[in-house]
Amino acid sequence: MDKLPFEVDNRFKICKKEMIIAFLFQIAYTVTMFIIAYGFGGKPLSEYRFIMGFPSWFFALLVTVAVFFVLLAFLCFKYFKNMSIDAYVDEEERE
């Protein structure tokens, strides 16, 4: 394969990995919300159970949002990196 006419920046690899993590996180969040909302909420109103004034399926959604928020914070601090977007990068950062 021919050599590229430009030097590939290592930040692109990191950004691609972070994009895949964020995309998979969003898919997991959306699927989980649909499962809870349609799985627990697809009953007649007379069969709903209430927790703290909310229907049980809505309360489960609130708990799920809190859990996913904690997971998102963990991902941001553990796997995502703070990078400079300057055009010129030191040689030490490039390696």
Supply the pLDDT for residue 86: 74
What DSSP character marks residue 2? P
Q: If you average pLDDT over every residue of the chain, what do you get?
A: 83
Task: Mark 43-61 as b/e (b = at least 16 C-beta within 10 Å).
Answer: eeeeeeeeeeeebebbbbb
pLDDT-derived band at 72 (thresholds 50, 70, 90) equals very high
Mean pLDDT calculated for residue range 27-41: 90
pTM attached to this predicted model: 0.72
Residues above pLDDT 70, as percent of the chain = 86
Asked whether the predicted pLDDT for residue 1 surpasses 60, the reply is: no
8 Å CB contact between 80 and 19: no
60: Cβ–Cβ under 8 A, 6 or more apart, which residues?
36, 40
Asked whether the predicted pLDDT for residue 7 surpasses 60, the reply is: yes
